[in-house]
């Protein structure tokens, strides 16, 4: 309930903010201080890093990507997380939300200098990377490029939907395009990327918020874990909209194999399966997208069906830098 405390503190500091997983929405989409594609650059150049409930794990390079001369202030409710993998100059054992509440009472004492130029530099880098992603999105028609998938899905769900994410690389790609602008509206499985959580999260969200659009972004591997929950959606009349990024491979794993063991790519291919047909067979709405221009109309048709729906999108297989193993 304290997530709104981030905005006034961020604006008083006047510096970039980067949000992980379930923290997305803490700053609204399009906020001038919300960084989406430049966290690595910011880590390399920052003189102070304020980490609020952040684990220095594989998602953040175990803290090694931070400027070694930077002062690290780490706030976490769990004492054992302070200084884990990356030493903290100042550790604060506290609920991060409560910490922000108290910090916000002292905004007048912050006092920054020359930060505006650095923020402008990061904003320019954000714009350049967004342009590169846009060019990639428009570079393929059939199969659909993952960046176009992310762009169209993000625009479709918009700022107010509740979106569960259940996949690997396609979730990493799509997360940068999501427009969700409310705290707690991205339902993320956490640091282990536990596949199969999406349907359960979405089901609970739709029961609690029946008037909200609730969606799931699946990878094809992720869908294979608990896709049968579409039967539950239909039996309980829950019009949840799922969209599968279907490149026919375990892409995160295949990227690892290709990068380090190119002669031993084992059990990484799934095939492009008609997951939508399963949903149709259960009595829901299903569609298969082969070309870029078909994606948004298919999403709109899924919403108009007013029943549980699945849009199965044939993706171009790519070696994506979003893979944790290819960094």
Q: Do residue 283 and residue 320 come from a single domain?
A: yes
Report if residue 104 sits inside a domain.
Answer: yes
Q: Do residue 146 and residue 242 come from a single domain?
A: yes
Report if residue 130 sits inside a domain.
Answer: no
CATH number, domain containing residue 308: 3.40.50.970
The Cα-based distances of 320 to 31, 195, 203 in angstroms read 27, 19, 30
Higher pLDDT, 5 or 87: 87
Q: The domain containing residue 245 runs over which residues?
A: 138-326
Q: Inform me whether the pLDDT recorded for 126 exceeds 50.
A: yes
User: Quick one: CA dihedral 301, 305, 306, 309, positive or negative?
Assistant: negative
CATH number, domain containing residue 107: 3.40.50.1220
User: What kind and span of H or E run contains 312?
Assistant: strand 309-314
Q: Do residue 144 and residue 116 come from a single domain?
A: no
Q: Do residue 111 and residue 172 come from a single domain?
A: no
Cα 74 to the chain's mean position, in Å? 23
- Tell me the β-bridge partners of 285: 309
Give the whole-angstrom CA distance, residue 198 versus residue 223. Answer: 9
Apex CA 220: angle with CA 206 and CA 148, to 5°? 85
Are 156 and 242 spatial neighbours (Cβ–Cβ below 8 Å)?
Answer: no
Q: Do residue 172 and residue 321 come from a single domain?
A: yes
- pLDDT by residue (tens digit) across 14-60? 999 999 888 899 999 999 999 999 999 999 999 999 999 999 998 88
Q: Inform me whether the pLDDT recorded for 113 exceeds 80.
A: no
Q: Do residue 56 and residue 18 come from a single domain?
A: yes
What count of other Cβ atoms lies within 10 Å of the Cβ of residue 269?
11
Q: What share of the chain is helix, strand, coil (3-state, %, to 5)?
A: 45, 15, 40
- pLDDT by residue (tens digit) across 148-188? 999 999 999 999 999 999 999 999 999 999 999 999 999 99
Q: Do residue 169 and residue 280 come from a single domain?
A: yes
Q: Do residue 222 and residue 307 come from a single domain?
A: yes
pLDDT band for position 324 (cuts 50, 70, 90): very low
Report if residue 184 sits inside a domain.
Answer: yes
Q: Do residue 187 and residue 319 come from a single domain?
A: yes
Q: Do residue 77 and residue 149 come from a single domain?
A: no
What count of other Cβ atoms lies within 10 Å of the Cβ of residue 185?
22
Report if residue 144 sits inside a domain.
Answer: yes
Q: Inform me whether the pLDDT recorded for 327 exceeds 80.
A: no
pLDDT band for position 320 (cuts 50, 70, 90): low
Q: Do residue 95 and residue 176 come from a single domain?
A: no
Peptide bond into 299 cis (omega under 30): no
- Of the residues 96, 125, 154, the one at which a domain ends: 125
Q: Label residue 116 exposed, middle or buried (CB < 10 Å: 0-12, 13-18, 19+).
A: exposed
Q: Do residue 145 and residue 169 come from a single domain?
A: yes
- Of the residues 104, 125, 146, the one at which a domain ends: 125
Helix ranges (DSSP H) in the chain: 6-13, 39-45, 96-104, 115-137, 146-157, 169-175, 198-208, 220-226, 230-235, 251-260, 275-282, 292-304
Give the pair of three-digit tokens for residue 164: 């569960």
Residue range 306-312: mean pLDDT, rounded: 99
Are 217 and 245 spatial neighbours (Cβ–Cβ below 8 Å)?
Answer: yes
Sheet with 285-289, side-by-side order of all strands: 186-187, 162-166, 214-219, 241-246, 309-314, 285-289
Report if residue 159 sits inside a domain.
Answer: yes
pLDDT band for position 255 (cuts 50, 70, 90): confident
Report if residue 133 sits inside a domain.
Answer: no
Report if residue 52 sits inside a domain.
Answer: yes
- Of the residues 74, 92, 125, the one at which a domain ends: 125
Give the whole-angstrom CA distance, residue 303 versus residue 135. Answer: 28
Domain count within the chain: 2
Report if residue 174 sits inside a domain.
Answer: yes
């Amino acid at each position: 309930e304290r997530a709104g405390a981030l905005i006034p503190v961020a604006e008083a500091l006047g510096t970039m903010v980067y949000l992980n997983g379930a923290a997305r929405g803490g700053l609204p989409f399009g906020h001038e201080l919300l960084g989406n594609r430049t966290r690595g650059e910011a880590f390399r150049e920052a003189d102070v890093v304020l980490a609020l409930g952040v684990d220095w794990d594989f998602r953040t390079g175990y803290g090694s990507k931070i400027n070694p001369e930077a002062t690290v202030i780490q706030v976490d409710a769990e004492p054992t997380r302070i200084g884990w993998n990356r030493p903290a100059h100042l550790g604060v054992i506290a609920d991060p939300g409560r910490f922000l509440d108290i910090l916000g009472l002292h905004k007048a004492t912050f006092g920054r200098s020359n930060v505006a130029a650095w923020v402008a530099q990061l904003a320019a880098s954000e714009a350049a990377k967004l342009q590169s992603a846009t060019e990639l999105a428009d570079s393929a028609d059939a199969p659909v490029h993952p960046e176009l998938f992310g762009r169209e899905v993000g625009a479709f769900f918009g700022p107010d939907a509740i979106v569960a994410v259940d996949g690997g690389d396609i979730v990493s790609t799509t997360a940068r395009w999501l427009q969700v602008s409310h705290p707690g509206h991205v339902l993320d499985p956490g640091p282990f990327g536990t596949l199969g959580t999406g349907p359960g999260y979405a089901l609970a969200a739709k029961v609690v918020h029946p008037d909200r659009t609730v969606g799931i972004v699946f990878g094809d591997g992720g869908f294979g874990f608990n896709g049968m929950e579409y039967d539950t959606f239909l039996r309980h009349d829950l019009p949840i909209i799922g969209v599968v990024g279907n490149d026919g491979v375990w892409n995160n794993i295949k990227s690892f194999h290709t990068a380090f063991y190119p002669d031993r790519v084992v059990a990484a291919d799934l095939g492009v399966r008609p997951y939508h047909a399963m949903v149709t067979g259960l009595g829901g709405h299903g569609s298969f997208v082969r070309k870029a221009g078909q994606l948004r109309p298919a999403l709109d048709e899924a919403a108009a069906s007013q029943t549980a729906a699945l849009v199965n999108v044939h993706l171009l297989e790519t070696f994506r830098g979003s893979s944790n193993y290819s960094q």
